[in-house]
């Protein structure tokens, strides 16, 4: 049951279209990825079906698309089953066959043939699987035919099983039987395998059974599921096993699907079958209609892995081919075939040394040069590692193993040996990812494309540690522009560590964020985020942000002018990034005239991250911001607004927590600034921020209701400064009031001013400065308002005449001035928000609503008062209006530090009273109705019904109990028997003769007691408890609330005219003349909103950035000093020390073993040398040299020789034997060569068992052909002509047409001082590599056929003359895969070079280059060792580069 061969994960390019027009406004965002449901409340579950719907879909889809195999023809086998029963050739008994298969006529016929006697039919085993008694985890399984297309299986896994497309495919292969591993190696393997799968989002594919390497993988997943990191995501482990070898598979058969199917693991009774591993998450059970035959799943697994590796995973704007890696643990002969096939197809392999058998054989010889990997060495290793089955290894099989191991080791770039504790390796996950990157480097990519591909893999895996150690090294210097596509991918896929890495490596956000990039980011918003839902409704990003930030901000992304082209409108094509990143990179490769950058890129990225609630990403971006205080407050506002609409409680709490965090950051930075310079810090508060909609930090904090920020001492000091105007804040309040009443005292030094000039002045300037101070205006208005209330009360109580007196007329004038002031506040629009916005803002304030209500009520009362018939009702209305005017005093006293918090508490308690009255009304009405119905019969007077039901019941709460409710104080004189007296209530039910009540007194008394119990004791105490809770809750934050609300009053009086009502009418007249007649626009006072000059603003922001860095450093320092962090750091250091000590121990023991082995070998050589010397001296005076032993150079211990790799490369390159001509599988045919190891290649070397097959494409009968000649390079493992045209040498011509690569100005490009060449290459559509335009020649013709296919006929003669003038750079044998023992290729390579770009022949050549075959491509390719060119042609090209001294 050896797993299948692996296939190469190639790279397929897919382009995308993007609009070329410039984008300067973030208006309509097009084609957002819409949810299936239009309702935002379902956005988180829009992609999920219910379990019932999933089961129904599976039950209908699987039988239609997935089949099983059944034997329909019973042929008795000569073998019996384990139970001694007669079985069919398929392995099943008669009872297990269909009825049609065991009918008498079915026994007639020929031998059993699986192609004829096995048929497909709908599968009957699929659904959920639960392992009885072992695990509660529910897995998925399916039984399918071995002929099932890979596309169908992949569709089942991704669409119906709901698996995410993997970022990596890990195929684990090895021993199918249980084997022992060292405990530490087992632990390292398990931890590393699961870590790489969990961090990269990989799929692990195994054989799925509970034995061998599959069991090791399952236990690794089990250990992970029991760890604390299980909540980070499930590891997808897919077991592909043979259905016919699964023990207890009968329990999995459910024709309509098992949901779930119970599976019993019975290892003791499994016999030669195997049980499924309970720790795998998914099972694909491959069926061929047989029973007990292993290896059926191998072809399907191989095809499936190849299909998956050819798929493209698109995530975060980056699309990559899914890479595949083979991990080898132990293993037998089948595992060697798997490794060989994987290496042959370009799949990297990681071999775990120390796991045993095949893995150890390869690991022990992997570091040796190919020439030292001999048959004898492999035989020696097999004798040690395969002791039980060594006798079964024949000479031919040993030769085959040697050949395969040589081919495996030859491609060292695809082979990684994990040596635990050696070579600096610690974790298997790092070894796996390094193997993939190493394989990626070996692929033929040109220049930066190779590095880009590696970076894409690291981003897809989300392994920033691999990127730091393997990609961002001194070997490669990254340009910031090269990181832009990956930066976009990291942002979209929410990988903050990569964003930080790119910023550390020089990427500048100002150069990164273009309007096109911003458009692309908003098109790829997370569909589950609330902002995406809001954007679907409004379409404009600016509109949504304006709603979130509040009306105090201008639109961040204004609409384009009418003269501009429409930008970011709906018809924008879908954008997709291909594997090379070319498409997205085009966003950053435009000329400066076509790229428009945003005003503040950090702001744009910060908003994009915040609206998706991406904490870590936003934190990194905020650290890059300039206007950091405003940015933090804006984030707090956005998050708080989103949390109000977020229905998911957890997400809402996360948003509020993050908003609080940003408020603390704003406080922290402002504290740093305030400590450094109070005046500059206060400038930051009121500076107009262009980036944040022309608002200020203070305004943002107020909009976000960031009470902690507003209550900061520095901000309160600033507000106090504004409150006192130009007066010194240390002036006593009594001095201010005294100067208000006796203003000539201003000429004295009773009050002081901050401005020295005002302090020294004694004239009108001091008076103006004094009366313009908000504190003075406030107290003048208080005196005015108290005067108004006193006059109003006097008129209502003393002087309310039929015709208005002069006092009453003065009240009318006073009220008119108040109305004018309210109109001024309503129409005051310094920010030009518009009348509608100002009206909404005005009426959003409770006190403004109270003012309007009081004024309207006064107007109603005045109207009634002026009508003689309604004089008294008018007085009543005005009396009620007086109450509302008195309530307005509460707002005035909010400025008081003593009364302000109490007023806040009263407002909160009013809400509690409202809810309490609802509960109270239930009891009052219920008791009142019951009491009234019991006592009174048919009361028809509505007013007395109301009194009895509501009024008396309400008064009962406060102790006024009805006198007749218990019948004791019953008196007919106090009531009306018939209810005719309008001033008396109707008498209760009574006896007319005896004049006694007949209603049940006991019942009314019980009801009264219960009513008083619940209302007086329960409800009133509940109200007291609610008041107490509200008081405590507000009292804790009362100081913050008061300081926050204090700003509103300060701002109101800061912009209010200095004269109090009714003298304020003069100020209103002055404003009317300025605004209406003179058209002078309103301006906000600079004390609350100040627009700085550019130079001053730049200096202030630089200072803020400097202090922000100090704040971040202090935060990091404080984080490190926390006890929890110190304990964590100490723990990690101890773990690191333990690992290092363990590694040193392992390295020391390994080094000691190697040294002892080397010493033993040297001693053996010395013994043989001494033996030869003694023998020679005995034989004569001078001994013969024939028997002298050859001393082998001392082997230096592993890891001690830094030149080991270079020595191996030199020896491998110096290998004179052909390699390609000995590939086991002959190209384009099923023929397998006879294995020929390196040492058996020369014809002179004896190779007795050499018996190669014969193969010729057209003539396969070797008796009809007499091959002549032998391959000059030695044996190839195949006789005949193969795919070549003739026996012996087959001559070809390879023209190497080159020119110098030039810049746009015509200068020759250089690398490392050397000039750079360009070569003419061609490529067939079916080929993966480019090639030189040469090949075989037609008889009597000079030009090769391939060259004629890309060159127009009229230029053939001219090119022949160029070839005649060319330089021959190579002539001789070519190591080609088509070579055989009797036929081989010899070539002549001719260099045709055009040194001058103005060469006439070069121009003619370019004009005549045209592929006649549409499947052929032709281009000029830069000469580089990484270009995707055939290996043989690379060697020729290297000679040409050396000929001209060019770069290679």
H or E element that contains 1104: helix 1094-1121
More confident position, 839 or 240: 240
- Give phi and psi for 662, each to the nearest 5: -70, -30
Mean pLDDT value of segment 1078-1099: 79
Does the pLDDT value for residue 1037 go beyond 70?
yes
User: pLDDT band for position 105 (50/70/90)?
Assistant: low
What pTM was computed for the model? 0.73
Residue 1082: what pLDDT?
Answer: 65
pLDDT in tens, 1268-1291: 678 999 999 999 999 888 888 988
Does the pLDDT value for residue 1304 go beyond 50?
yes
CA distance 1336 to 1329: 18
What percent of the chain is predicted at pLDDT more than 90?
Answer: 26
1173 CB-near residues (< 8 Å, 6+ apart): 1183
CA distance 48 to 441: 40
Does the pLDDT value for residue 1309 go beyond 80?
yes
- The closest of 1371, 1382, 1299, 1381 to 1334, measured between CA atoms, is 1371
User: pLDDT band for position 1208 (50/70/90)?
Assistant: very low
Helix axes 1094-1121, 628-645, angle to 10 degrees: 70
Does the pLDDT value for residue 669 go beyond 70?
yes
pLDDT in tens, 120-159: 999 999 999 999 877 668 899 999 999 999 999 999 999 9
Residue 571: what pLDDT?
Answer: 29
H or E element that contains 1384: strand 1383-1394
More confident position, 1070 or 761: 1070
DSSP string computed for 280-346: -SEEEEEE-S-SS-TTTHHHHHHHHHHHHHTSEEEETTEEEE--EEEEEES--HHHHHHHHHHHHTT
pLDDT in tens, 937-995: 788 788 888 888 888 888 888 877 777 776 666 667 778 777 778 888 888 877 666 56
pLDDT in tens, 855-896: 999 999 999 998 988 999 999 999 999 999 998 888 877 777
Residue 31: what pLDDT?
Answer: 41
Structure tokens at 912: 């509690």
Structure tokens at 212: 């061998």
Cis check: omega of the bond before 260, within 30 degrees of 0: yes
CA distance 734 to 469: 72
β pairing state of 118-122 and 86-88: unpaired
Residue 888: what pLDDT?
Answer: 85
β pairing state of 1288-1300 and 1317-1324: antiparallel
Residue 597: what pLDDT?
Answer: 64
- The closest of 434, 386, 389 to 413, measured between CA atoms, is 434
CA distance 785 to 890: 12
- The closest of 642, 616, 618, 640 to 631, measured between CA atoms, is 618
Q: Which of 107-121, 372-386, 847-861 has the lowest mean pLDDT?
A: 107-121
Helix (H, G, I), strand (E, B) or coil at 237: strand
Residue 135: what pLDDT?
Answer: 67
Residue 1085: what pLDDT?
Answer: 61
Residue 1014: what pLDDT?
Answer: 83
How far does the chain reach from its first CA to its final CA, in angstroms?
47
User: pLDDT band for position 1401 (50/70/90)?
Assistant: confident
- The closest of 587, 617, 597 to 501, measured between CA atoms, is 617
SS (H, E, C) 172-194: EEECCCCCCCCHHHHHHHHHHHH
- Mean confidence (pLDDT) of the chain: 81
Mean pLDDT value of segment 331-359: 89
DSSP alpha helices (H): ranges in 1408-1447?
Answer: 1431-1444
pLDDT in tens, 398-409: 999 999 999 999
Tokens 């996950």 correspond to what residue?
Answer: 429
pLDDT in tens, 779-823: 899 999 999 999 999 999 998 888 889 999 999 999 999 999 888
Q: Which of 811-820, 1074-1083, 1349-1358 has the lowest mean pLDDT?
A: 1074-1083
User: pLDDT band for position 658 (50/70/90)?
Assistant: very high
């Amino acid at each position: 049951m050896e797993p299948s061969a692996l296939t190469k994960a190639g790279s397929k390019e897919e382009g995308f279209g993007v609009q070329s027009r410039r984008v300067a406004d973030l208006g309509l965002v097009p084609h957002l990825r819409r949810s299936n449901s239009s309702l935002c409340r379902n956005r988180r579950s829009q992609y999920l079906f219910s379990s019932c719907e999933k089961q129904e879909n599976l039950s209908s889809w699987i039988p239609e698309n997935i089949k099983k195999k059944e034997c329909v023809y019973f042929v008795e086998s000569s073998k019996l089953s384990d139970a001694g029963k007669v079985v069919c050739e398929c392995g099943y008994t008669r009872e297990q066959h269909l009825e049609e298969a065991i009918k008498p006529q079915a026994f007639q016929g020929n031998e059993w043939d699986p192609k004829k006697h096995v048929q497909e039919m709908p599968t009957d085993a699929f659904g959920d699987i639960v392992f009885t008694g072992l695990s509660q985890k529910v897995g998925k399984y399916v039984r399918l035919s071995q002929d099932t297309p890979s596309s169908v299986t992949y569709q089942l896994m991704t669409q119906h099983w709901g698996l995410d497309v993997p970022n990596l495919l890990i195929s684990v292969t090895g021993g199918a039987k249980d084997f022992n591993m060292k405990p530490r190696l087992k632990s390292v393997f398990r931890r590393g395998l699961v870590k790489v799968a969990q961090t990269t989002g990989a799929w692990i594919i195994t054989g799925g059974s509970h034995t061998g390497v599959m069991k090791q993988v399952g236990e690794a997943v089990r250990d992970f599921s029991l760890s604390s990191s299980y909540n980070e995501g499930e590891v997808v482990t897919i077991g592909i096993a043979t259905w016919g070898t699964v023990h207890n598979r009968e329990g999995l058969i459910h024709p309509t699907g098992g949901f779930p199917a119970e599976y019993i693991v019975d290892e003791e009774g499994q016999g030669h079958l195997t049980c499924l591993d309970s720790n795998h998450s998914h099972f694909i059970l491959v069926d061929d209609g047989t029973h007990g035959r292993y290896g059926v799943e191998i072809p399907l697994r191989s095809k499936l892995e190849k299909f998956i590796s050819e798929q493209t995973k698109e995530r975060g704007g980056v699309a990559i081919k899914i890479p595949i890696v083979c991990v080898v643990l132990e293993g037998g002969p089948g595992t060697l075939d798997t490794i060989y096939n994987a290496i042959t197809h370009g799949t990297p392999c990681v071999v775990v040394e120390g796991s045993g058998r095949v893995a150890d054989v390869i690991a022990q010889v992997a570091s040796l040069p190919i020439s030292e990997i001999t048959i004898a060495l492999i035989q020696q290793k097999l004798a040690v590692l395969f002791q039980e089955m060594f006798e079964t290894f024949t000479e031919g099989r040993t030769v085959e193993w040697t050949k395969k191991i040589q081919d495996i080791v030859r491609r060292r770039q695809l082979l990684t040996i994990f040596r635990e504790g050696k070579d600096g390796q610690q974790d298997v996950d790092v070894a796996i990812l390094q193997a993939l990157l190493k394989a990626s480097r070996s692929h033929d990519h040109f220049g930066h494309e190779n590095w880009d591909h590696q970076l894409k893999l690291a981003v897809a895996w989300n392994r920033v540690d691999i990127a730091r150690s393997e990609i961002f090294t001194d070997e490669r210097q990254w340009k910031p522009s090269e990181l832009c596509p990956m930066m976009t991918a990291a942002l979209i896929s929410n990988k903050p560590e990569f964003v930080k890495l790119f910023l550390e490596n020089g990427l500048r956000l100002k150069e990164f964020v273009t309007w096109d990039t911003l458009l692309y980011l908003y098109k790829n918003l997370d569909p589950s985020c609330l902002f995406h839902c809001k954007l679907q409704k409004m379409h404009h990003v600016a509109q949504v942000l304006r709603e979130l930030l509040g009306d105090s901000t201008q639109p961040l992304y204004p609409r384009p002018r009418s003269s501009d082209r429409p930008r970011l409108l709906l018809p924008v094509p879908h954008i997709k990034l291909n594997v090379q990143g070319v498409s997205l990179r085009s966003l950053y490769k435009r000329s400066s005239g076509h790229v428009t950058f945003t005003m503040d890129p950090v702001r744009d990225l910060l908003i994009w991250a915040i609206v998706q609630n991406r904490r870590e990403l936003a934190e990194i971006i905020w650290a890059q911001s300039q206007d950091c205080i405003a940015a933090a407050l804006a984030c707090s506002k956005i998050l708080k607004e989103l949390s109000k609409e977020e229905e998911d409680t957890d997400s809402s709490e996360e948003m509020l927590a993050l908003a609080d965090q940003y408020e603390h950051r704003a406080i922290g930075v402002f504290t740093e600034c305030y400590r450094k310079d109070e005046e500059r810090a206060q400038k930051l508060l009121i500076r107009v921020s262009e980036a944040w909609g022309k608002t200020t930090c203070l305004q943002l904090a107020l909009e976000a209701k960031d009470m902690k920020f507003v209550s900061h001492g520095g901000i309160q000091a600033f507000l106090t400064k504004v409150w006192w105007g130009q007066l010194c804040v240390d002036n006593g309040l009594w001095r201010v009031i005294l100067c208000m009443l006796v203003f000539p005292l201003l000429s004295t030094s009773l009050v002081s001013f901050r401005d020295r000039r005002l302090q020294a002045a004694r004239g009108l300037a001091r008076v103006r400065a004094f009366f313009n101070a908000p504190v003075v205006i406030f107290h003048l208005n208080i005196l005015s308002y108290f005067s108004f209330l006193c006059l109003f009360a006097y008129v209502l109580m003393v002087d309310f005449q039929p015709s208005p007196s002069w006092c009453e007329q003065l009240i009318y004038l006073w009220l008119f001035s108040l109305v004018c002031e309210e109109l001024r506040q309503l129409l005051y629009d310094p920010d030009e928000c518009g009348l509608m916005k100002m009206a909404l803002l005005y009426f959003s304030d409770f006190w403004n609503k109270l003012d309007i209500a009081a004024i309207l009520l006064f107007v109603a009362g005045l109207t009634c008062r002026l009508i003689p018939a309604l004089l008294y009702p008018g007085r009543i209305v005005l009396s009620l209006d007086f109450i509302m005017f008195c309530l307005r005093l509460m707002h005035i006293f909010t400025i008081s530090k003593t009364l302000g918090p109490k007023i806040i508490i009263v407002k909160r308690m009013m809400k509690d009273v409202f809810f309490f009255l609802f509960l109270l009304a239930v009891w009052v009405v219920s008791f009142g109705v019951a009491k009234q119905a019991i006592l009174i019969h048919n009361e028809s007077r509505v007013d007395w019904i109301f009194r009895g039901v509501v009024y008396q019941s309400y008064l009962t709460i406060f102790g006024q109990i009805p006198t007749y409710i218990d019948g004791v104080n019953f008196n007919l004189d106090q009531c009306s028997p018939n209810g005719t007296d309008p001033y008396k209530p109707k008498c209760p039910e009574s006896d007319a003769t005896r004049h006694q009540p007949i209603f049940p007194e006991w019942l009314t008394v019980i009801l009264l007691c219960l009513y008083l119990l619940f209302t007086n004791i329960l409800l009133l105490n509940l109200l007291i408890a609610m008041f107490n809770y509200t008081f405590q809750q507000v009292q804790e934050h009362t100081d913050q609330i008061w300081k926050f609300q204090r700003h509103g009053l300060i701002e109101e009086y800061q912009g209010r005219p200095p004269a109090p009502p009714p003298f304020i009418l003069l100020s209103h007249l002055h404003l009317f003349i300025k605004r209406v007649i003179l058209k002078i626009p309103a301006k906000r006072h600079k004390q609350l909103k100040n627009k700085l000059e550019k130079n001053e603003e730049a200096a202030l922001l630089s200072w803020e950035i400097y202090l922000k860095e100090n704040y971040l450093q202090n935060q990091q320092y404080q984080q490190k000093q926390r006890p929890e962090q110190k304990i964590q750091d100490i723990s990690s250091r101890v773990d690191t020390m333990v690992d290092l000590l363990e590694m040193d121990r392992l390295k020391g023991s390994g080094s000691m073993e190697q040294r002892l082995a080397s010493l033993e070998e040297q001693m053996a050589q010395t013994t043989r040398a001494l033996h030869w010397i003694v023998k020679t001296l005995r034989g004569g005076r001078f001994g013969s040299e024939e028997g002298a032993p050859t001393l082998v150079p001392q082997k230096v211990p592993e890891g001690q020789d830094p030149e080991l790799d270079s020595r191996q490369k030199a020896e491998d390159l110096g290998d004179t034997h052909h390699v390609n001509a000995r590939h086991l599988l002959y190209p384009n045919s099923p023929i397998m060569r006879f294995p020929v190891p390196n040492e058996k290649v020369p014809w002179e070397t004896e190779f007795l068992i050499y018996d190669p097959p014969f193969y010729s494409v057209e003539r396969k009968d070797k008796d009809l052909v007499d091959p002549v000649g032998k391959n000059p390079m030695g044996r190839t493992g195949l006789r005949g002509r193969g795919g070549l045209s003739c026996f012996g040498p087959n001559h070809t011509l390879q023209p190497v047409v080159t020119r110098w690569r030039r810049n746009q100005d015509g200068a020759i490009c250089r690398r490392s001082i050397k000039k750079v060449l360009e070569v003419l290459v061609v490529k067939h559509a079916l080929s993966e590599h480019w090639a030189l335009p040469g090949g075989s020649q037609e008889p009597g013709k000079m030009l090769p056929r391939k060259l004629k296919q890309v060159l127009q006929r009229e230029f053939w003669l001219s090119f022949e003359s160029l070839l005649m003038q060319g330089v021959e750079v190579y002539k001789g044998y070519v190591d080609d895969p088509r070579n055989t023992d009797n036929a081989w290729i010899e070539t002549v390579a001719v260099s045709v070079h055009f040194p001058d770009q103005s060469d006439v022949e070069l121009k003619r050549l370019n004009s005549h280059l045209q592929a006649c075959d549409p499947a052929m491509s032709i281009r000029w390719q830069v000469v580089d060792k990484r270009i995707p060119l055939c290996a043989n042609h690379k060697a020729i090209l290297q000679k040409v580069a050396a000929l001209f001294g060019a770069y290679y």
